[in-house]
Structure 1
Amino acid sequence: MKLYADTPMRRSRQIFGDLWVLAWVAISVWLATKVYAVTMALAVPGRKIESAAKSMGDKLRDAGGGVDNVPVIGDKIAKPFNGAGGAADSLADAGRSQAEVVHTFAWWLSIAVAIVPIVMLLSMYIPLRLRFVRKASTHVALRDTESGIDLLALRAITNQPLKVLSGISDDPAGDWRDGNQQVIRALAATELRDSGLKPKAVVTPRRAKS
């Protein structure tokens, strides 16, 4: 598998691009953690309400239990305390629910903050890198064999601009059919360089046929 080009300029751009993507991902994740922390601050009042109401409810029930043993009127005195304790429990439940809603919102918001920019970038960058890796890996395998050189030359005839081909031969297709090795290797070298790869040997482009 060929991950990076042979030519220094293109290889440097690819490495810089990969590092930039990693930095983008790291920044997105860091920003998501900050958003989560800031949003979770909204849950603090709910937690405080839950804690205070729960404590109040426990104290009211304890007070009700303390007067419940008073002869004759104990039950009547304890009833308001127990009722107030139940109301405090309801308030504690409301505070807990509020905190849970904020927690859920903070979680999904932080995921969105991280995932959306990461997915947008990777959806554009990864196909480009994979296209290079597939093409370069194939070309590396082809440049090691004579038949592969022929295929690269044919690909150059198909893909390269006419201006480039005319700089190699007046009739590149005819020279390819005739097996002109000088032209074939020049064509293959052009195709390899276009992919950011170096040919196995230095190839001298052809001069026009006499």
Structure 2
Amino acid sequence: MTLYAQTPARRARQLVGDLLVVVWVVLWVRAGQWVHEVVGRLAAPGRTLENAGSSLSESLASAGDTVARVPLVGDNARAPFTAAGGAADSIARAGVQVQEGANQLAVLLGLTIAAVPILLVVAVWLLSRIRFVRRAGAARRILDSAADLDLFALRALATQPVRALARVSDDPANAWRRGEPDVVRALASLELRALGLRAPAGQPVS
């Protein structure tokens, strides 16, 4: 498997691209963490409500127990404290719900902020790399199984810019038909460089 180009310029661009993708991912992960932390602060009022409600409920329960021990008053005097304690418990539960909602929102927003730009860039990068690996791998198999560079020279005639072909020969098509070794090798090298590969040293030309 050919992961990186053999030609220095294209290999350098690939390495820089990989590094930029890594930096991009790290930056957006940090952005997602920051959003999570900021939104998570919305849970603070919920913690205050929970603590206040729990403390009030405990105080009312203690007061109810104390009143219930008073002679001639008994459990009848405890009822208002019990009711108030239930209301305090409701406040505490509301505080817990506020915290849970804030935490869920923080997780959702943090993941969304980080995941969307990361997935978009990584998908494009991955498709590009897979395409290169497949094309380079197929080209290397042909080079390994064929005794000449004629196929790549023909492909160069069909795909390479006219200015690049003109630098090889004034009449590259006829030179290819005649099988001129230097022209065939030069044309094949053009196409192989576009694929990120180098022509094998000493590769014979039929």
**Shorter-chain TM-score category?**
0.7 to 0.9
3-state SS of 2:61 partner: helix
1:157 aligns with 2:165: no
Could you tell me how far 1:174 is from its partner in structure 2? 5.0
Q: In 2, Cα distance between the equivalents of 1:180 and 1:74?
A: 115
Q: Which runs of 5+ in 2 are unaligned?
A: none
After the TM superposition, which residues 1-210 of structure 1 pair with which residues of structure 2 at under 5 Å, given as runs? 1-147=1-147, 149-169=149-169, 172-177=172-177, 179-201=179-201
TM-score scaled to structure 2, two decimals?
A: 0.86
TM-superposition CA deviations, 1:167-190 (whole Å, max 9, x none): 434554555455544433222111
Q: In 2, Cα distance between the equivalents of 1:148 and 1:50?
A: 79
TM-superposition CA deviations, 1:122-159 (whole Å, max 9, x none): 23322222222222222222223435623222221221
3-state SS of 1:144 partner: helix
Q: In 2, Cα distance between the equivalents of 1:32 and 1:160?
A: 44
CA separation of 1:27/1:41 partners in 2, compared to 1, >3 Å: closer, same or farther? same
Aligned residue type for 1:8 = P
Q: In 2, Cα distance between the equivalents of 1:111 and 1:153?
A: 49
Aligned residue type for 1:23 = V
Q: Which runs of 5+ in 1 are unaligned?
A: 204-210
Q: In 1, Cα distance between the equivalents of 2:130 and 2:146?
A: 26
Aligned residue type for 2:48 = K
Q: In 2, Cα distance between the equivalents of 1:113 and 1:185?
A: 51
Aligned length: 203
Q: In 2, Cα distance between the equivalents of 1:148 and 1:82?
A: 95
Q: In 2, Cα distance between the equivalents of 1:166 and 1:141?
A: 29
Percentage identity across paired residues of the two chains: 44
Aligned residue type for 1:200 = P
Aligned residue type for 1:13 = R
Superposed CA RMSD in Å reads 2.3
